[in-house]
Structure 1
């Protein structure tokens, strides 16, 4: 390491934890606002790391799965106080949002919802959440779908998802096919698609037997919810919203909670100072109680800790690994297709549950217009709060 490179100031482990706890308590507005806050204080003002090195690091974090702001905190904690420092920085950043979400999930499962003003508020929030997710899918797509081959990967993944093909088959297939096509190996790309389609066909043919074998499955264990969170954490490319289809598939898809409850969790996560993936904590609580909430949260955030704690010295080298980057770009494009399909499914659920489709449609349209026109870290919390208010007035 260059001895002239900026370094963090001397801090105790406790002081480091408190520093990132403060970041966590102010982490409103999503990853863009969170990263801007970290950059302003630790790069521009205190010179923990040079601006060029921070930019390279951020580029790597955007390629890897997981919430970028949280991963940056872990990496900077390692830079300041070693692996223990990285663990403390990551815990400090996530703790405020985690505690608040645990409190909200506890209240949600104990307060009367259906047929009350609170229930009407949640119906309004659900319509607003769909608008926020639609805007997020567009924003993510703008950054990821930068050439026709990536668009083809996204559309192919969406079509496969509509046909019922598991994302475990879809994502490796589109990732490999895109990487091979981008390196001018069309025959191998076609072969990857044929292999993926064959595996998908076999999986679909075997589905009736698998469904029968899984009938009457027990309530989720903490281990099952941890695994659901881990899959979401490992497949969160291009933003926290991309975790939605994977967590939903493993919880709503297994009957552990309803789509309406899932939408409520997304709405609550949008107003908290935390990475959006904290919605997994709510999902875990509704599905499996306090133990389930902690288990799915641990799984969701484990990759964000692990990449920096285990591969600190090698992370920036990933920026030079072109073939891996092409594969991950194809996977990320496939995830955009999956989340688009999931958004349509969630919108159908919201439409079925509302007592007034016209009122919910107006909430959605107004929320979508604000999401496109108001670029502020307060936009999402404000949209959801107004959605709740209008829901009480128009849907109660």
Structure 2
């Protein structure tokens, strides 16, 4: 049945009722962003008619063009529609709080009872192999939406190579964004490409994929500012899906020797089975490196852009993203992010393979997992992770 636009609008809710409504969404946020967005649409658009379906679709398209977990950004935006900026803040906090608390508990249990237990090494390795397959599938899925023409493909490949050479993260992002925005000025694009290559050489590039070996501690770390910045990079560069935050958080934690790749992948796996945006893996990473305060620092950094974009640009989001130059700039940055996460998936696959007692058995588990993630929907990720745990426990006793 068609609803007249003048009957649309959020109901009158107290701040407490608004918070509880989005807290419920947070407890039910299983299955990744597609399932989370479908839940929000079903409740707020189809049932309660806060906004029309066409407007929701336009809003979703805007959120997908901006960095950050789009389901969380939608919650913030809807909360602002109901009760202004305070409502947006409460809606966003309600949606993320269940996953945050559950991930903190999972990280504490992991650090106390799982890490370092020799009997669980095979189980964790099986999980890590499956997570690598899931990330590779995410690269393909994101790339199929982002890489719409030949130039974007070239930019993604350039970012891939730059990342393998450990160029500073900002060089491919800035270069790819500017080159695509200035496509009509090829000489300017060429100059940017040459300048970026020189900048990469100046800052020093090297090829190194060996994982660090680090002891895990849940004590507060003096590196809290660095942890916050690591989360902020992930939050600002989450284009096309939460998996794109992985390379940036990994670079500032694993890359600094604060934790090994295996532990990092365990955090991604836990995020895949909890009711939360996948970027909640940052909470796990922060806890492992810096205890409770570290978890808060990374989480605050990751979610700050999602709050900021929705709350600061509330009335101008659609106009901002529809600006042609800005749209092309964001498209170029997104292409670079695809290349960066592709390089990260290769590095993670390499370090995981190095830790396997049998490369052949690990390869079989990986191929089965890759086929499974290609043939199933994202909501099956928790089942695949559990299957990886069982396979690892049996294959690597």
Q: TM-score, normalised by structure 2?
A: 0.93
Q: 1:157 offset after TM fit, Å?
A: 0.6
Q: Does structure 2 conserve the Cα–Cα contact (< 8 Å) formed by 1:281 and 1:297?
A: yes
Does 270-279 or 193-202 show the bigger shift? 193-202
Matched, 1:143 2:145: yes
Alignment gaps of 5+ in structure 2 = 207-219
Q: Does structure 1 conserve the Cα–Cα contact (< 8 Å) formed by 2:166 and 2:205?
A: no
Q: 1:313 offset after TM fit, Å?
A: 0.8
Q: Does structure 1 conserve the Cα–Cα contact (< 8 Å) formed by 2:165 and 2:205?
A: no
Matched, 1:370 2:372: yes
Match of residue 389 from structure 2: 388
Match of residue 47 from structure 2: 45
Match of residue 112 from structure 2: 110
In 1, Cα distance between equivalents of 2:20 and 2:358? 47
Provide runs of 4+ in structure 1 moved above 3 Å: 112-117
Q: 1:116 offset after TM fit, Å?
A: 3.2
Q: 1:5 offset after TM fit, Å?
A: 6.6
Q: TM-score, normalised by structure 1?
A: 0.93
Q: 1:224 offset after TM fit, Å?
A: 1.5
* Closer, same or farther: CA 250–103 of 1 in aligned 2, 3 Å: same
Alignment gaps of 5+ in structure 1 = 207-217
Matched, 1:200 2:180: no
Match of residue 237 from structure 1: 239
Matched, 1:189 2:189: yes
Match of residue 210 from structure 1: none
In 1, Cα distance between equivalents of 2:168 and 2:236? 16
Q: 1:205 offset after TM fit, Å?
A: 8.0
Q: Does structure 1 conserve the Cα–Cα contact (< 8 Å) formed by 2:221 and 2:294?
A: no
* Closer, same or farther: CA 92–192 of 1 in aligned 2, 3 Å: same
Which SS does the other structure have where 1:152 is aligned? helix
Q: Deviations over 1:168-195 (max 9, x none)?
A: 11110011011111xx211111121122
Q: Does structure 2 conserve the Cα–Cα contact (< 8 Å) formed by 1:259 and 1:349?
A: yes
Q: Does structure 1 conserve the Cα–Cα contact (< 8 Å) formed by 2:32 and 2:378?
A: no
Which SS does the other structure have where 1:9 is aligned? coil
Match of residue 266 from structure 1: 268
Task: List aligned pairs for 1:253-332, cutoff 5 A.
Answer: 253-332=255-334
Q: Deviations over 1:254-305 (max 9, x none)?
A: 1111111111111111101000000000000111111000110000000001
Q: Does structure 1 conserve the Cα–Cα contact (< 8 Å) formed by 2:272 and 2:382?
A: yes
Match of residue 56 from structure 1: 58
Q: Does structure 1 conserve the Cα–Cα contact (< 8 Å) formed by 2:167 and 2:205?
A: no
Q: CA RMSD in A?
A: 1.7
Q: 1:319 offset after TM fit, Å?
A: 3.3
Q: 1:115 offset after TM fit, Å?
A: 5.1
Q: 1:121 offset after TM fit, Å?
A: 1.3
